[in-house]
Amino acid sequence: MIFDPLMLIGIAVFVAFIVWFMFGRKKAAPEAPDQAQDSARESITAPLADEVAEPVSFFKALSRSRSQLSNSLKGLFSGGFDEEIREDLEAVLLSADVGVETTDWVLETLEERSKQEGISDPDGLLKLLKDILASTLSAAEVVVDESLNTPHVILMIGVNGVGKTTTIGKLAHRYQADGRSVLLAAGDTFRAAAVEQLKTWGERNGVPVIAQDTGADSASVLYDACESAKARGTDIVLADTAGRLQNKANLMNELEKIGRVLGKLDIGAPHEVLLVLDAGTGQNAISQAREFSKAIQATGLVLTKLDGTAKGGIVFALSREFGLPIRYVGLGEKAEDLRAFDATAFVDAMFAEASE
Ligand SMILES: Nc1nc2c(ncn2[C@@H]2O[C@H](COP(=O)(O)OP(=O)(O)O)[C@@H](O)[C@H]2O)c(=O)[nH]1
Ligand SMILES: [Mg+2]
C-alpha cells in the first residue's frame, strides 16, 4: 500500500494529538490559585482504602523537617555555646521556619539557662534547647471535652486552599471511627465546587451534608445545619466556611456574622473554631492567624501539609505567639492522614537522627 505524504503528515498529527491528550494535557494547564478547589475535588475522588492499611507515621511524615534541623544541629554544640555558635544556631532555627521573634527568644533563654544551670557540654545543650522549644508548645496540650454539648459544633476557618474541607472529611472519618454521629455543613457557599467537594466527603463517610445553593448566606446555612443536628441528636457538626482572599473585608464580616448567628442558638456554638493553616506557607501563617483572630476567636489550630516540604519550625512560633493549642496536624490527603498533635512526639521527631 502506498501512502501519499499528505496522508502521512495527517496520521503523524493525529498520533501527536492523542499522545498530548493522554499525557501532556494536565501539565500544559498551570493551575491558578482560584482553581485549587477543583483540583482538590479531583484528588478526593480517588478511591479510599477500605481499612487504614498503613497510616502515615508521624515520624516518617516529618522526616523532611527532621533531617533539616537535626543535621544542622549535629555537632553544632561541640564547642560549647559562644557567640559564633549562637549565630549558627540562629541561622539553623530561622531556616527551619521558627521565625525571628521566637528564634530570638529561644537563643536568649538558652543563653540564660545554660549559664544558670552550668551546662556547656554538647548533649546537655542540645537537651536544653529541646526543652526550651518544647516549652513553647505547652498550650498545645489542652484537652477539649466533646461530650458536654449535643451537637458539638466545630467551625473551620482559614484562607483558600489550606485544607479546611479536607480536614472536615478527615475529622468526620475520625469521629465516626470513634462512634460519634456526624453532620457536615456546607458554609462555603462562594463556589459550587466547594459544596460538591464537601458532599463527596459526606458520601464517602456516609454522613449527611446540609447545603444550599451557591451564593446562599453562609451563616444561615450553618444555623440550619445546627438546628437540624439538634433535632436529629447528632453528636458533631463540622462546619465549612469560605476562605477567599480576594475580598478580605467581606470574608471577615461573614465570619463575624457566623459567630454571632451561631451564638443565637442555645447550644453555645461554635464550641471549637479551628483555624487551619498550611505549614508550607511558613511565616505567612503567622500573619493569617493574626488577621483571622480579628474577626473571630479561634480556639485551636490545625496545621496541614506537614507531610510536604514544610520545615515544621512554624509550630513553635505559632504556639508561642498565639498560645492556642495545635489540635491536629495534616499529614496527607487521605481520610486517615490526620493526627492529634502530640507536642513531645513532635519535638522528638524533629530532633531525631536524620539517618534513622
Ligand atoms: N499533602 C497534603 N495535602 C493536603 C493536606 N490537607 C489538604 N491537602 C490538599 O490541599 C488542597 C486544598 O485542600 P482543601 O481542603 O480544598 O482546602 P480549603 O480551600 O481550605 O477547603 C487539596 O488538594 C487537599 O487534598 C495535607 O495535610 N497534606
Ligand atoms: Mg474548602
What's the confidence (pLDDT) of residue 21?
A: 52
Beta partners for 183? 237
Question: Nearest ligand, CA of residue 331?
Answer: 1
Read off the DSSP letter of residue 274.
E
What's the confidence (pLDDT) of residue 154?
A: 95
What is the H or E stretch that residue 185 is in? strand 182-185
What's the confidence (pLDDT) of residue 338?
A: 92
- In ligand 1, which atom is closest to the CA atom of 168? 15
Return left, alpha or beta for 298; rule: phi > 0 is left, psi -120 to 50 is alpha, else beta.
beta
- In ligand 1, which atom is closest to the CA atom of 308? 1
- Which ranges of 74-136 would DSSP assign to H, the alpha helix? 83-95, 100-116, 122-135
Closest CA to 56 of 304, 322, 326: 304
Please tell me the distance between residue 40's alpha carbon and the centre of ligand 1 in angstroms: 7
What is the H or E stretch that residue 303 is in? strand 300-304
Question: Nearest ligand, CA of residue 244?
Answer: 1
What's the confidence (pLDDT) of residue 147?
A: 63
What's the confidence (pLDDT) of residue 26?
A: 39
What's the confidence (pLDDT) of residue 81?
A: 78
Length of the chain: 356
Quote the pTM value: 0.79
CB 80 within 8 A of CB 125: yes
What's the confidence (pLDDT) of residue 46?
A: 28
> Nearest residue CA, atom 23 of ligand 1?
40
Q: Is there an atom of ligand 1 within 6 Å of 280 CB?
A: no
What single letter denotes the amino acid at residue 4?
A: D
Q: For the chain, what is the radius of gyration of the CA atoms?
A: 24
Closest CA to 338 of 143, 37, 58: 58
Please tell me the distance between residue 273's alpha carbon and the centre of ligand 1 in angstroms: 18
Please tell me the distance between residue 162's alpha carbon and the centre of ligand 1 in angstroms: 6
CA distance 157 to 178: 24
Question: Nearest ligand, CA of residue 334?
Answer: 1
> Nearest residue CA, atom 6 of ligand 1?
163
β-strands 326-330, 338-340 pairing: antiparallel
Ligand 1 site-directed mutation target among 65, 168, 333, most atoms within 8 Å of CB: 333
Q: Is there an atom of ligand 1 within 6 Å of 40 CB?
A: yes
What CATH number was assigned to the domain covering residues 140-351? 3.40.50.300
Q: In what order do the strands lie in the sheet with 272-278?
A: 209-210, 182-185, 236-239, 152-157, 272-278, 300-304, 326-330, 338-340
Q: Is there an atom of ligand 1 within 6 Å of 162 CB?
A: yes
CA distance 189 to 240: 9
Q: Is there an atom of ligand 1 within 6 Å of 169 CB?
A: no
CB 258 within 8 A of CB 219: yes
Q: Is there an atom of ligand 1 within 6 Å of 332 CB?
A: yes
Question: Which residues have beta carbons under 5 A from ligand 2 (an ion)?
Answer: 164-165, 194
Q: Is there an atom of ligand 1 within 6 Å of 170 CB?
A: no
CB 314 within 8 A of CB 99: yes
Q: Is there an atom of ligand 1 within 6 Å of 139 CB?
A: no
Ligand 1 site-directed mutation target among 42, 56, 156, 166, most atoms within 8 Å of CB: 166
Per-residue pLDDT 10s for the chain (356 aa) are 555 766 666 666 666 656 555 554 433 333 333 433 333 332 322 222 333 333 344 445 555 555 556 666 666 777 777 888 888 889 888 888 889 999 999 999 999 999 999 998 888 888 899 889 888 886 555 566 666 678 999 999 999 999 999 999 999 999 999 899 999 999 999 888 999 999 999 999 999 999 998 889 999 999 999 999 999 999 999 999 999 876 788 889 999 999 999 999 888 889 999 999 999 888 899 999 999 988 899 999 999 998 877 778 888 999 888 888 889 999 899 999 998 888 877 887 777 654 44
